A and B are shown apart, each in its own frame.
Chain A
Amino acid sequence: TQLLEQSPQFLSIQEGENLTVYCNSSSVFSSLQWYRQEPGEGPVLLVTVVTGGEVKKLKRLTFQFGDARKDSSLHITAAQPGDTGLYLCAVSNSGYALNFGKGTSLLVTP
């Protein structure tokens, strides 16, 4: 059983469109992280959400942590080709390492 379920698995949109991707679980987490991985590179941290209901904005990206701290969403406004990549959510286990979802692969075409 996958700890984190991400949806959709793939998303192809045109420049200027809005989109939302989701990260869901049946477990409660103290924090959740979102990463973006571009082709040929490792994941890069975008944001960490900690408080239930928390909303964080990073330019055109809006991250929300569910009230029950079991799920999170990432909304991108007016997507650009530079947003193309694999979006990963991750939570920590009892140690220092992370458990990742399978990710949402986003393609934004001009």
Chain B
Amino acid sequence: ETGVTQTPRHLVMGMTNKKSLKCEQHLGHNAMYWYKQSAKKPLELMFVYNFKEQTENNSVPSRFSPECPNSSHLFLHLHTLQPEDSALYLCASSQGSSGEPGADTQYFGPGTRLTVL
């Protein structure tokens, strides 16, 4: 139990569906992240939020839309996805900007296994 929860754990959706992934952290952290983990590829950073402000968008297609209503919650809204978007989507949190960039320890949730049909 890392203090970061993700729901749902598994999701199957069609290409025309709209769904949302939810992440919640109970660690009092200020930074939250979305990563994508595909087979045979390294973990890919998608979005970074620091104090609820998006600080990085790593050239992610617009069919992925993040939302960070507060520093404890992070959403990833999914719309008209493609089969190649099937992957494990991981959320992480860290202390954030009060320290030196890059020195944070990141705590990961268990991920949402997404399958797009």
A and B interact: yes
Residues of A within 8 A of B (CB): 2, 4, 30-31, 33, 40-45, 48, 88, 90-103
B105 touching A97, Cβ below 8 Å = no
A88 touching B43, Cβ below 8 Å = yes
10 new A-B contacts at CB < 8 Å, known A97-B45, A102-B42: A31-B103, A42-B110, A92-B103, A93-B102, A95-B56, A96-B33, A97-B48, A98-B106, A100-B42, A100-B43
User: How many of B's residues come within 8 Å of A, CB to CB?
Assistant: 30
Q: How far is the CA of A108 from the CA of B104 in the complex (A)?
A: 31
- B29 vs chain A, min Cβ distance (A): 11
Question: Chain B 87-117, CB within 8 Å of chain A: the 1/0 string?
Answer: 0001110101100011111111111000000
Q: How far is the CA of A94 from the CA of B33 in the complex (A)?
A: 15
Among A92, A95, A96, the one with the most B-chain Cβ atoms within 10 Å of its Cβ is A96
A96 touching B92, Cβ below 8 Å = no
Interface residues of B in 77-93 (CB under 8 A from A): 90-92
Residue in A closest to B47 when the chains form the complex, CB atoms:
A97
User: Given A96-B102, A100-B42, A101-B42, A44–B108 Cβ distance below 8 Å?
Assistant: yes
Residues of B within 8 A of A (CB): 2, 4, 31, 33, 40-43, 45, 48, 50, 55-56, 90-92, 94, 96-97, 101-111
Q: How far is the CA of A59 from the CA of B45 in the complex (A)?
A: 31
Determine which of A42, A94, A96, A102 lies in contact with B40 in the assembled complex, contact meaning CB atoms within 8 Å: A102
A44 touching B2, Cβ below 8 Å = yes
Determine which of B2, B42, B101 lies in contact with A96 in the assembled complex, contact meaning CB atoms within 8 Å: B101
- B66 vs chain A, min Cβ distance (A): 13
A96 touching B43, Cβ below 8 Å = no
